[in-house]
Amino acid sequence: MDGSLFLSLRAAHILLAALWLGAAFLLSMFVMPAVRDVGPAGGQLMATLQKRKLHAFMGGSAALTVLTGIWLYWLFTAGLQEQVMFSPGGLAFGIGGMCGLLAMILGGTILGRGFARMTALGEKMATAPEAERAAHMQEIAVLRGRLGIASKFILVLMIVALLLMAVGHYL
């Protein structure tokens, strides 16, 4: 592959990974706890974030990070040559890549569906009668707890991927 194309691919992979991981860190450590702290207004904030296409940004940056990563892995292992794949560097990029792939799958399924459900419940609450509101509030609280745990687990997977990739060339 042409040297400048390889460098562009590598730079794109690192930029996309930085955007994805940075956004996931901010959401998991600051935005979600703040949404919980502010009470009912938190639901409106979630709905606004969804309208501003947060889910598309997270899904798009995750998918492009993984796609560029798989392409880089193909180049690094010279087309999946076993002796490179099972070398220390190959294992670091391979295991890191699996962590990144798993983070994308879990983020798209558990978090994607959970946030969509929470946003829908938050919108329903605005017009629902008092009796239904309590049930919606309880479902939102349960969802919030589950999503909090899931988002931290996904964040750990992404950090493991980042650390393995940071050292992969030097093993």
Contacts with ligand HEM by CB under 6 A lie at: 10, 13-14, 17, 21, 65-66, 69-70, 72-73, 76, 93, 97, 100-101, 103, 158, 161-162, 165-166, 168-169
Report in angstroms how near the CB of residue 171 gets to ligand HEM at its nearest: 11
Q: How far is the CB of 163 from ligand HEM (least distance, A)?
A: 9
Q: How far is the CB of 12 from ligand HEM (least distance, A)?
A: 11
Ramachandran bin of 15, using left for φ above 0, alpha for ψ from -120 to 50, beta for the remaining angles: alpha
Length, in residues, of the chain: 171
- Cα–Cα distance, 93 to 68 (Å, whole number): 13
Residue 113 CB coordination number (10 Å) = 12
Closer residue to ligand HEM in complex, CB, 140/165: 165
Q: Which is nearer to ligand HEM, 106 or 162 (CB)?
A: 162
Q: How far apart are CA 28 and CA 17, in angstroms?
A: 16
